[in-house]
Amino acid sequence: MSENTALLMSPTEARVSDYVALLKPRVMSLVVFTGFAGMWVAPGFSGMHPLLAVVAMICLAINAGAAGAINMWYDRDIDAVMKRTQNRPIPMGHVEPTEALSFGIILSVLSVMTMGVAVNWMAAGLLAFANLFYVLVYTMWLKRLTPQNIVIGGAAGAFPPMIGWAAVTGEITLASLSLFALIFFWTPPHFWALSLFANSDYQRANIPMLPCVIGAEKTKWHMMAYSLLLLPLSLLPYLLNIAGIGYGITAFILSVFFIFTNMRVILDRGEKSARLMFGYSVFYLFALFLALMIDKV
């Protein structure tokens, strides 16, 4: 499908599945999981009313999805020319751009207000800030401007465990910031691994992802710098007494293997290792936060 064809398609009647797709459910699932992990390990979680915990997670999920919908509205031009995103509801003509924007704004406001009234306003403030950061700073400003887009803009995806923590405690602490840092420094190697094998897509859309600007080989070494930083950062929850030695050992092993997968990417002239590292990076974050939760039990 060409860009012009996609953008000029006559909208068809939207289905429920199209609006679900606007919420980026795959991204939402990781957001909810890390947010719940932050809530789970926060002091005082056992005394939190279960209904409030459910409400907090629903607000987090809806807010993340709402930001995704606004992102699809703004990026509809580049989504139409990238193979990875051509089948999204707006390029396919299933949802009008203005409908997607309204959908995203309404859900954003409702989720923040509900979080504030039902849970606490610190969590609501963090939720609002993460939403605005993703939409305004990353989507509308950095994404098309600089190869450091995912480094700075990736902060939006690092807020969920802080939001979960704040939902329980009403505070921002060094412990919750350590969970933020873990996702923040995980994001660049995760997305740059993707951009190594989706480079032609980003070039076609004129998005200055790092491999498009400095080349694949230099990008691989940038990834390694972040991979090495992840090793000590992954141990911070243990060092800050959020988790015990079981988590510490697990985090060390997972992080060493993360570095190993990055080294394979450096040595591989093809795309296979980058694909494997991208897949492992998702497992890595999931396993790390799962280890935190198990250790808490």
Report residue 174 as tokens. 């060094």
Contacts of 16 (CB under 8 A, 6+ apart): none
Please check whether residue 1 lies inside any domain of the structure: no
10-residue block means of pLDDT along the chain (297 residues)? 43 76 89 96 93 97 95 93 88 92 97 97 97 94 89 90 97 96 96 89 87 92 96 95 94 97 93 94 96 90
* CA distances from residue 80 to 57, 67, 70, 73, 212 in whole angstroms, order as listed: 32, 19, 15, 11, 19
Domain count along the chain: 2
- The pLDDT, as a whole number, for residue 204 is 86
Are 236 and 264 members of one domain? yes
Give the ranges where the chain is alpha helix by DSSP (H).
Answer: 3-8, 16-22, 25-41, 50-74, 76-79, 97-118, 121-132, 149-153, 160-169, 174-197, 199-205, 210-214, 216-234, 236-239, 245-267, 272-296
- The pLDDT, as a whole number, for residue 256 is 97
Please check whether residue 18 lies inside any domain of the structure: yes
Please check whether residue 2 lies inside any domain of the structure: no
Yes or no: say if 71 and 140 are a contact pair by the CB < 8 Å rule: no
Q: Pick the last residue of a domain from 111, 142, 171.
A: 171
Nearest alpha carbon to residue 198 among 172, 184, 183, 219: 219
Please check whether residue 147 lies inside any domain of the structure: yes
Please check whether residue 260 lies inside any domain of the structure: yes
Please check whether residue 6 lies inside any domain of the structure: no
Q: Widest CA span of the chain, in angstroms? A: 58
- The pLDDT, as a whole number, for residue 13 is 60
